[in-house]
Structure 1
Amino acid sequence: MLLQIRLHERGRRMPPASADTQGQDRAAPARQRTFAALAQPAYRVLWWGTLFSFLGMQMQMVARGYLAYELTGSNTALGGVMIAFGVPQLLLSLWGGVVADRLPKRNVLILWQGVIAVASGLMALAIATDHVAYWMLLATGVVTGVAFSFIGPARQAFIGDLVPGHLMGNAIVLQQANMNGTRVFGPALAGALIATPLVGMAGVYALTTLGFIVAVVTMARLPPGHPRPGANHRSPLQDTLDGLRYIVRDRPIGILLLMSFGVVALAFPYQGFLASVAKSEFHRGAVALGALSSAAAVGALGATLVVAGLTGHRHVWRVQTVSGIAFGAALIAFGFTPRFELALFAILLVGAFASAFQSLNNALAMTLSDPRYYGRVQALLGIGWSLFGIVSLPLGIVADIIGIRRTLGLMGLSAVVTVAGLHLLAMLTGTGEQLRGRAAAPTVAEAEERRVIGTRHR
């Protein structure tokens, strides 16, 4: 894949989208081509680099959960691994957003991808030499959480530099498709390799390390991603507070962020408990765990490709809401499905609706944001994932008390209540009408109006 990139772009680094391209004063069509953003050379390189990174993370997520459960036999231990990942993100995500808006984004991505590669390589060595312990999983989780506090905002904010404005939503959803594509075969591959004596857990960690290294090499071909003019005129603390004020005064963005917080924090942790479901409820091993994860990923990938062309549609706000409610309902069904075959179908629906909701929510939040706040908005979206890790610990304790099935049911119910409640609030306060009006592919004139509004409140 790297060879294809080099042959296509030989002899030069890819330039970002030009100002003229970004300045086209026209709305995107209601239905875009699914892969429209990949026509942008620099974005294509970012997409490929992210692919290798996501593949490593998806394989490692399965391996980490399986190893934690194997070492301890406890749902609480699974939650502990996720909280080790979540706490650093909660503490550092806002700073990661400020860094993304103030420093060259390529350098941020390369540095922190390299840190993850080193941590993964050390884990592979510990497992291979039979010195692995549960505390090492916690330490690796902390390092990975710190790294993603900076990688996530920088990567998403970078998209705004690499594609014209009317392709922003499509580009964000294609990044989501990238992740979901690796979820199709990554977990199944990890599960199969864990069960293979010649590879095992150490081999899986070694392969994920290789994926992170390839991601670093690929991203070195990106343009620098310099900050916008004037980004460094104030202190980082002032930039952080300014980002929070921007979210408070822009109610549509605030509603989208609250929806993301609630659903991701309270319902998305189901992913970390699939190892428990496979072992304790269906009495199966690593291959079954990989099958459940891959079924969810197949549904997620299919849904992402469907919604990729809908990011400029006038009903995208409603589609996002329906997807969030359907995700919660499907998760409830999965929690109480008695047979493994039916569980595979249920988890496929869970993955599809979860991905549709998350993809459209992120695309709406970034598309409607002032470009100067891209990094900070993405950082706030990332806080939901940090809460994901933190809430996983008490959810693990609850699962050990009342059972994993009932706990999954409660997660699904929380998603339904969060999305339906916030949608109703938006409609009652008029924010829903604003969202519908702004969601249908805003023109450059509207983007300029948002920048002016932001300036007035600075």
Structure 2
Amino acid sequence: MAGPSRAGEAAPGAFDILRIRPFLVLWLSAAVVFLGVMAQNIARTWLAFELTGSNAALGGVLLSFGVAMLVATPWGGVAADRLPKRLVMQVATLLLVLSSAWIGVATATAVVTYWMLIVAGVVQAIGFALFSPARMALLAELVPRDAVPGAVSLILVNSEVSRVVGPALAGLVIGSFTFGTEAVFLTSAVLLALGIGINLALPPGRRRVDASGRSPLGELMDGLSYVRRRPDLAALLWCGIGVTMAGLPYLAFLPAVASDLFDLGSLGYGLLSASSAVGAVLTGLTLGRRSHRGDQHRLLIVAGAVFGLALAAMAAAPSFVLAVVALVVVGGALLAFQTTSQALLLALSDIEFHGRVQGLVMLSFGAFGVAALPLGILADAIGARWTLAGMGVVVVGIVLVFAVVSRRTRAASRLLDLG
């Protein structure tokens, strides 16, 4: 890993970080992979809604993704610490290619069914479970320590830029062409295959543990024990999982919001998805340029609270324009929350545990998928507006609990340091 900046020097800015060639390769690889995945997600969610017309069915697609993520993600963290990280990313991207190409072919041949979307969600979840911990652990090896927060912001901005371009293009293609849905899936597979080629230019990444000394299960248990011994890490992880589980399922309801509340169909769905991504991109670029020397815990708490409040405001929006404005804030606040959480976890954890800690972080995305089904059923029963408003309130509550726990944990740590 590159060393920290010398004393008296400012942390590298966004453009300085991109001049680090290995990080630039990682950034470009992530950009291509995210674009393919985001377009695929839009097409799969719309296809599920088209096949069933049910919010619960949308939740079921995310549930398949979430359960698989919960099972596979801790092992993805073990793989990131145990194996060359580039190899792990290559295998993961290949799984993502297969999950997209299969549904594209099935749709083109008119044999696609709802259960196929469920299976595709499982395959994609396994790919994510491998890709994300390896990507974040490798990032920490490629840039100076002081540049990690900015690098995390730039990597996460990739996903949000993809959510600007991917959903908008996917929505336009799906709505404009009779072959639109399969075209999105097959193009996604091509983009993901390109990501495999770009990954070849990455360094392999160092192994953090002796594979001959411990079994994968033993390494997994070591990672869990490490987090249990660190209340500061445990509080961060639980807050991230709770906020993501309670708030991120709003993505599953955007098709229903576009179609049922505003009668705008697939085009409205793409625009709603893209609007939250616009806010995230603007926020991520800002975070990538700042020094990150302020109180990161305070930024985390503020960003999480704003995310919950904006989500509730979006639910109450009486017009499509106001919903778009609220979603811009939703996207920006969520990106700030995720960036700050990831940067804090990388800064506070020991480098030999980066992969496993990042694997536990990704449990939040599994939890989001698990929560989507019951929330979808609730939305069918009481309406999407009330469900989304309730999700926002729960997010604010989780953040407030974290604020209290975090203050106590940090105060106890200061007392130990003084002792």
TM class by shorter chain equals over 0.9
User: Are positions 1:203 and 2:178 aligned together?
Assistant: no
TM-score normalised per structure 1: 0.87
Deviation at 1:308, TM superposition (A): 2.1
CA distance, structure 2, for counterparts of residue 36 and residue 70 of structure 1: 45
Residue in structure 2 matching 1:267, options 222, 247, 251: 247
Partner of 2:361: 381
Residue in structure 1 matching 2:294, options 289, 294, 314: 314
CA distance, structure 2, for counterparts of residue 422 and residue 291 of structure 1: 33
Residue in structure 1 matching 2:410, options 431, 437, 448: 431
User: Are positions 1:56 and 2:52 aligned together?
Assistant: no
Deviation at 1:316, TM superposition (A): 2.0
8 Å Cα contact 2:208/2:353 also seen in 1: no
Deviation track 1:80-102 (CA, whole Å, cap 9, x = no partner) reads 00011111110111111111000
CA distance, structure 2, for counterparts of residue 290 and residue 432 of structure 1: 45
Residue in structure 2 matching 1:401, options 381, 385, 393: 381
User: Are positions 1:192 and 2:157 aligned together?
Assistant: no
User: Are positions 1:248 and 2:228 aligned together?
Assistant: yes
Partner of 2:156: 176
8 Å Cα contact 1:36/1:170 also seen in 2: no
Deviation track 1:359-385 (CA, whole Å, cap 9, x = no partner) reads 111111112210000001100100000
8 Å Cα contact 1:296/1:352 also seen in 2: yes
2:195 is matched by which residue type in structure 1? A
8 Å Cα contact 1:325/1:416 also seen in 2: yes
User: Are positions 1:299 and 2:279 aligned together?
Assistant: yes
Note closer, same or farther for the CA distance 1:45–1:76 as it changes in structure 2 (3 Å cut). Answer: same
Q: How many residues align?
A: 416
CA distance, structure 1, for counterparts of residue 16 and residue 235 of structure 2: 28
Deviation track 1:109-141 (CA, whole Å, cap 9, x = no partner) reads 111211221221111111111111111100100
1:234 is paired with a residue whose SS is coil
Deviation track 1:342-361 (CA, whole Å, cap 9, x = no partner) reads 11111111111111111111
Q: Which runs of 4+ in 1 moved over 6 A?
A: none
8 Å Cα contact 2:37/2:96 also seen in 1: no
Tell me whether 219-228 or 380-389 shows the greater mean CA deviation.
219-228
User: Are positions 1:140 and 2:120 aligned together?
Assistant: yes
Partner of 2:48: 68
8 Å Cα contact 2:13/2:290 also seen in 1: no
8 Å Cα contact 1:35/1:170 also seen in 2: no
Residue in structure 2 matching 1:215, options 171, 195, 211: 195
Deviation at 1:36, TM superposition (A): 3.2
Partner of 1:22: 3
Residue in structure 2 matching 1:227, options 207, 210, 223: 207
Note closer, same or farther for the CA distance 1:208–1:432 as it changes in structure 2 (3 Å cut). Answer: farther
Deviation at 1:247, TM superposition (A): 1.0
Deviation at 1:199, TM superposition (A): 4.3
8 Å Cα contact 2:209/2:352 also seen in 1: no
Partner of 1:339: 319
CA distance, structure 1, for counterparts of residue 27 and residue 14 of structure 2: 15
Partner of 2:106: 126
Partner of 2:130: 150
Residue in structure 2 matching 1:349, options 296, 310, 329: 329
Deviation at 1:228, TM superposition (A): 2.9
1:210 is matched by which residue type in structure 2? V
Partner of 1:416: 396
User: Are positions 1:239 and 2:228 aligned together?
Assistant: no
1:224 is matched by which residue type in structure 2? P
Tell me whether 386-395 or 224-233 shows the greater mean CA deviation.
224-233
1:211 is matched by which residue type in structure 2? L
Deviation at 1:431, TM superposition (A): 2.0
CA distance, structure 2, for counterparts of residue 122 and residue 27 of structure 1: 53
Question: Percent identical across equivalent pairs?
Answer: 37
1:431 is matched by which residue type in structure 2? R
Partner of 1:14: none
8 Å Cα contact 2:300/2:340 also seen in 1: yes
1:35 is paired with a residue whose SS is helix
CA distance, structure 1, for counterparts of residue 286 and residue 151 of structure 2: 14
1:184 is matched by which residue type in structure 2? V
Tell me whether 392-401 or 243-252 shows the greater mean CA deviation.
243-252
Partner of 1:84: 64
1:223 is paired with a residue whose SS is coil
Residue in structure 2 matching 1:281, options 242, 261, 278: 261
Partner of 1:365: 345
Tell me whether 301-310 or 211-220 shows the greater mean CA deviation.
301-310
Structure 2: gaps of 5 or more residues: none
Q: CA RMSD in A?
A: 1.9
8 Å Cα contact 1:27/1:166 also seen in 2: no
CA distance, structure 2, for counterparts of residue 233 and residue 311 of structure 1: 40
1:195 is paired with a residue whose SS is helix
Structure 1: gaps of 5 or more residues: 1-16, 439-458
1:291 is matched by which residue type in structure 2? L
CA distance, structure 2, for counterparts of residue 26 and residue 275 of structure 1: 51
